[in-house]
Structure 1
Amino acid sequence: MPKAQPLAVPAISRKVLATATGVTGLLLLLAYLVAFDQGAVSQSGMLLHELMHDGRHLLGVPCH
Structure 2
Amino acid sequence: MAHPIAPAAVTPAITPISLKAIAPWALFVGILALVLLYFVGAEQGAFSVIAGEDVHEWVHDGRHLLGFPCH
TM-score (norm 2): 0.63
Match of 1:36 among 42, 52, 56: 42
Match of 2:54 among 31, 47, 60: 47
Task: Give the secondary structure class of the aligned counterpart of 1:32.
Answer: helix
Unaligned runs of 5+ in 2: 1-17
Identify the residue that residue 21 of structure 1 maps to in structure 2.
27
Output the aligned Cα RMSD.
1.5
The letter of the residue matching 2:60 is: H
Unaligned runs of 5+ in 1: 1-11
Q: Distance in 2 between matches of 1:28 and 1:48?
A: 16
* CA-to-aligned-CA distance 1:26-51 (integer Å, 9 cap, x gap): 011001100111172335x1100011
- Indicate the percent of aligned positions where both proteins have the same amino acid: 46
In terms of Rg, which structure is larger? 2
Q: Distance in 1 between matches of 2:54 and 2:22?
A: 36
Q: How many residue pairs were aligned?
A: 52
Structure 1 stretches of 4+ moved >4 Å = none
